[in-house]
A and B are shown apart, each in its own frame.
Chain A
Amino acid sequence: MDDILVSIKALRGVQDVCFYHDNQVLGSTFPPVQRVAIHAAAPMLEQVFAALQTIQQDHEEMYIAIGDQQLIAYQIKDCGTVLLLTEKRVNIPLVHMGVKSAGNKLKAALAIRAAMPIQAAPTVTATPPAPTVAEKVSAGIDLKPILDQLQALLLDYFGPAAGFIFNDALDEWQRQGTPQYQNLGQLLTLLLAEFDSAQEKHSFQRSAEAAISAGKLTPTH
């Protein structure tokens, strides 16, 4: 959970972030001096969203210009509310995309959190844990250098949000089947879908295909 919030905080202009779920703050990067105030405000903002829902309104983004800063609340469906304190002027589409991308990870973290007591129960037998994406990816051919390069290429187009976008695509790629060199085209398709500009899309595609081709020649470890 903390890793996800730290990733959001890394977005330009974001000062601190916390995640509010089911009447409690589950994670926060706010310093102790600010934590009490921000955490006290979270239920109030949740109440505003709740009031909107009662009148059949579907607003899920709230931007509050306060002093020289901005407080932003994003409600993530079936998950919770992400609360961010940012500079007054911030790249809203970038921040919003970053939070939206992190939404699936927050849902996954919540699911893990919910499952933790069951895993801790003594009746659970030693079933080997499902392999992580990284473990699956590293099975067989070593794709890591190629994946690292693809992620690095994305940075040129999406800046700090590149990590979110890449990880989401990687998760989806894993769901579609066994991650292997032969299926990298599917991953590339997922990444290309994130581009709005045809020119940038084409440019990224050329670089990514070159990286994939070069990776094939790299000896496996």
Chain B
Amino acid sequence: MDSDAPMQKVADAVEADPLNTGLLKDVSTVLGVSGMTLTNPMGELLHSTIEDEHLNEFIAFLSGTLPTLEEVLGLGAIHHVLLKSPQNSNLSLFSRQGQSLGIVSRPKASLHGIAQQMESLLAGV
């Protein structure tokens, strides 16, 4: 089986979108990241390495909530949301131009380090 085939599908799916497959590959190599999910503005999953479907649904729900939250607060654009658990994996959501990248990171991983690397990767998009 061609291992590049799934990524090719992703490439097709995100061809016109700012978050590209090269970025997804880079994200997967960031230390501490155990999974990621890319959603479009409609909350549809473009790509995911997270096996827990509930978590994928939650990430889609959260990314769908952000535009309303931005509107209600009127403080500017929401760039990043971090949800911390006292014991389990942490969740981060990075939002750019309607697309959202959800990241699951290991409990002991450096959240600041991951956020910095993500911001750096996304800055190049």
Given contacts A51-B58, A55-B58, contact A61 B75 (CB under 8 A): no
Complex Cα gap A33–B102 (Å)? 33
Per the CB 8 Å criterion, the residue count for chain A at the interface is 26
Segment at the interface with A among B14-22, B23-31, B63-71: B63-71
- Chain A residues whose C-beta falls within 8 Å of the C-beta of B54 in the assembled complex: 55-56
**How many A-B Cβ pairs are below 8 Å?**
81
Complex Cα gap A51–B55 (Å)? 10
Contact digits for B69-88, partner A, Cβ 8 Å, 1 yes 0 no: 11011111111111111111
Give the interface size bracket for B toward A: 20 to 34
- Chain A residues whose C-beta falls within 8 Å of the C-beta of B61 in the assembled complex: 51
- Chain A residues whose C-beta falls within 8 Å of the C-beta of B36 in the assembled complex: none
Given contacts A55-B55, A62-B83, contact A67 B76 (CB under 8 A): yes
Q: Check A60 against B58 for contact (C-beta < 8 Å).
A: no
Q: Check B72 against A37 for contact (C-beta < 8 Å).
A: yes
Complex Cα gap A58–B90 (Å)? 10
B37 CB, nearest partner CB in chain A, Å: 14
Contact of B91 with A by CB under 8 A? yes
Point out the residue from B65, B80, B84 that lies within 8 Å of A59, measured CB to CB.
B84
Contact digits for A189-221, partner B, Cβ 8 Å, 1 yes 0 no: 000000000000000000000000000000000
Contact of B62 with A by CB under 8 A? yes
- Chain A residues whose C-beta falls within 8 Å of the C-beta of B82 in the assembled complex: 61-64
Q: Check A52 against B83 for contact (C-beta < 8 Å).
A: yes
Chain A to chain B contacts (Cβ below 8 Å), 24 pairs: A37-B74, A38-B73, A41-B72, A41-B73, A44-B68, A47-B65, A51-B61, A55-B55, A55-B57, A55-B58, A56-B54, A57-B85, A59-B83, A59-B84, A59-B90, A61-B84, A62-B84, A63-B81, A64-B82, A65-B81, A66-B75, A67-B75, A67-B76, A71-B73
The chain B residue with its CB closest to the CB of A73 is B83
Point out the residue from A48, A60, A66 that lies within 8 Å of B76, measured CB to CB.
A66
Complex Cα gap A55–B88 (Å)? 13
The chain A residue with its CB closest to the CB of B79 is A65
- Chain A residues whose C-beta falls within 8 Å of the C-beta of B83 in the assembled complex: 48, 52, 59, 61-63
Contact of A29 with B by CB under 8 A? no
Q: A59-B84, A63-B82, A69-B75 are in contact. List 9 more A-B contacts (CB 8 A).
A: A38-B73, A44-B72, A52-B83, A55-B55, A57-B88, A59-B90, A59-B91, A63-B80, A66-B78
The listed residue with most A CB atoms (<10 A of its CB), out of B72, B88, B90, is: B72
Q: Check B85 against A59 for contact (C-beta < 8 Å).
A: yes
The chain B residue with its CB closest to the CB of A45 is B69
Given contacts A38-B73, A55-B58, contact A44 B88 (CB under 8 A): no
Contact of A40 with B by CB under 8 A? yes
The chain A residue with its CB closest to the CB of B68 is A44
Complex Cα gap A71–B74 (Å)? 12
Q: Check A52 against B78 for contact (C-beta < 8 Å).
A: no
Q: Check A64 against B81 for contact (C-beta < 8 Å).
A: yes
- Chain B residues whose C-beta falls within 8 Å of the C-beta of A62 in the assembled complex: 81-84
